[in-house]
Amino acid sequence: MMKSDSSEITATARLLDGIRSPADIKALREQDLPQLAQEVRDELVKVLSQTGGHLGPNLGVVELTIALHRVFETPRDRFVMDVSHQGYVHKMFTGRLDRIATMRQYQGLNGFLLRTESEHDCYGAGHAGTALSAGLGMAVGRDLRGGDENVVVIAGDAAFTCGISYEALNNVRAHTKRFIVVLNDNEWSIAKNVGAIASYLNNIATSPTFAHLHDKARRFVEAIAGKSVAEFAHKVEESVKGLLVPSVIFEELGLRYYGPIDGHDIPLLIRTFEFLKTQDEPVLLHILTKKGKGYEPAIKQPDKFHGLGKYKIESGETAPAPTPTYSEIIGKTLSKFADTNQKIVAITAAMPSGTGLGHFAKAHPDRYFDVGIAEEHAALFSCGLATRGLKPFLTIYSTFMQRAYDMIIHDIALQNLNVALCMDRAGLSGDDGPTHHGLFDIGYLRHIPNFVHMQAKDEDEFVDMLWTMANYNSGPIAIRYPRGAGTGAKPKPEPKLLEIGKAEVVQHGRDVAIFGLGNMFEVAEEAARKLEAQGLSVALINPRWIKPLDTGTLEFFARSVSVVCTIEDHVLHNGFGCAVMEHLYSQMIHTPVVRIGWPDQFIEHGSIPVLRKKHGVTADALVEKILSLLGKKPSAQSSAA
């Protein structure tokens, strides 16, 4: 009986349940911290199996996060996490454990750090490469204000494929003396890291010389543990010199380099951070971690478990999509086109699986280029390819294409190069939230000269558009398409060329004309049925082309009906509906225009149906606005419809 009771207590009394703030981590015995790490991993695997999220990155930083909160004092000290998708453990330790099951759910915890969510989140982010510059700004701000808090930047090795990171590193030594950078090296961003920097870091980690230095570093740190750093300052300096190899790039950039050390060794991490926070010079600690540590499916498939939906804990299996996603379609379609068109090349920025280009990479490895998280370089690289007569398909999420905006204007459009922009995740990106919603690309492309821009209503038309892009040789051309699956429309065996700037009139009508752009065409169809139930005659148009507009079709219907309506998965400001209004105004056509789209604010995270209903991006909202404009009240028949 006693044994049973004891087992029951052990099973129910978790250390993790007692963590309400970082002070509780400091209060634990050091020998209990590995147990805490295991409990955190168990909680992550359990919770994210129901909510989805960035499992692999968080499993890899458990010990690191424990050590950081053991040594430093947030919110006074600042933790700046690059991308911040690895911040779930930090959230658990800073008063949000009881809400961890709401991760990425509507009105729940955000999947990234968020300044408005907690005082412990000093900087919000969702894109890579931002932490070093932001952290340096915080350090300089501290110095100017006469503070003494620590600024710790935690950046994965993938962040060091970003040019922004090196722009920051170039300035660190000149601007501050106290700055701690943690290089979390797990060899992965979303996909396996590529390029010279990844090889360089791998050489450091695997070199026999550095393996010897790693052991020497451990003994050194352990030797000073618990003793006055001031007393050993001169020994520290001399010992460090003996540990370093002069060619370490970070030393050349002005940061004292330490490592590599085991990023899962909690005592070693604690002793190292205790030492580093006393240093009066910028330092970089190189730690080696394993993405997905503690959960075998995540270790075997680190790209899949970087970020995913719900899964079965036992196997890691996820539910298959009912129909192919747009990302899968583009990867397979471009591969097929490239079989007969030797000019087609495909470029992505560290997202072969997310963009579907993994299919292209297997079929045409010599014409596939993953440049790492370097969108600016990807755009310029595409320009160079285009000048040599190739047809580059630059495939990047809409929200990440923003990072290459200058190149889109100055290099692609100004030179009228035949670069095809394929903007995945255009529109709402649901549970990833405002850092990932692709709600601005119409606005940032439609005013640029030389560009053609389009969006398909379904998968069949999507393939036709890709075929049109492959055969378009008059300058830059762009396509936007949503995350996930479409309507299930099966593409034809042979794609057809679409006439640039020509919309598809699906049905004619006398009272209302609805222009439903891309994935919102389904919503337009639903609204048309409801309006027809009110006795209205509704024209339904699939615009296809954002730029150039089919002005002939637009003017015809604007002169024929009482109300024109546009609906788009984009912000209303400078969106498709705005383009429609501008053109009608320029032609002195005064037919009222009802626009449905996202408001002038950053949209929170949550499921797409919930967010659409909240913000009025629905068929019901469209119907209500049109009926109100026409002075009609909805009938019971319409409500039933």
| Tokens at 82, concatenated | 């690059």
> Among all chains, which residue has been given the structure tokens 């996909």?
191
Amino acid at site 271: R
Using a 10 angstrom Cβ sphere, with 0-12 exposed, 13-18 middle and 19 or more buried, the burial of residue 336 is middle
Catalytic-role residue among 63, 274, 375, 376: 375
Q: Is 219 a residue of the active site?
A: no
| Tokens at 483, concatenated | 């995350």
- Backbone phi and psi for residue 610, each to the nearest 5 degrees, phi listed first: -65, -45
What element of type H or E holds 288?
strand 282-288
Catalytic-role residue among 78, 96, 104, 291: 291
**Spatial distance between the Cα atoms of 184 and 455, rounded to a whole number of angstroms:** 39
95: left (phi over 0), alpha (psi -120 to 50) or beta: left
Q: In 10 A of CB 248, how many CB atoms?
A: 18
Q: Is 296 a residue of the active site?
A: no
Does residue 598 contact residue 572 with C-beta atoms inside 8 Å? yes
| Tokens at 173, concatenated | 């030594």
Tell me if residue 334 falls in helix, strand or coil.
Answer: helix
> Among all chains, which residue has been given the structure tokens 């788009």?
568
**Spatial distance between the Cα atoms of 458 and 329, rounded to a whole number of angstroms:** 11
DSSP output for 241-259: HHH--TT-HHHHTT-EEEE
Catalytic-role residue among 78, 256, 403, 530: 403
Tell me if residue 223 falls in helix, strand or coil.
Answer: helix
C-alpha closest to that of 22 among 128, 118, 154? 118
**Spatial distance between the Cα atoms of 64 and 67, rounded to a whole number of angstroms:** 5
Does residue 266 contact residue 34 with C-beta atoms inside 8 Å? yes
- Pairing relation of β-strands 344-348 and 391-397? parallel
Amino acid at site 439: L
Q: Which is it for the CA torsion 504, 509, 515, 517, positive or negative?
A: negative
Does residue 67 contact residue 273 with C-beta atoms inside 8 Å? yes
**Spatial distance between the Cα atoms of 77 and 83, rounded to a whole number of angstroms:** 19
| Tokens at 97, concatenated | 């454990």
Does residue 200 contact residue 283 with C-beta atoms inside 8 Å? no
Tell me if residue 440 falls in helix, strand or coil.
Answer: coil
Q: Is 375 a residue of the active site?
A: yes
**Spatial distance between the Cα atoms of 499 and 488, rounded to a whole number of angstroms:** 24
DSSP output for 81-145: ESS-TT-HHHHIIIIIGGGGGGTTSTTS--SS--TTT-TT------STT-HHHHHHHHHHHHHHH
> Among all chains, which residue has been given the structure tokens 């294409």?
401
- Which residues belong to the active site? 291, 375, 403
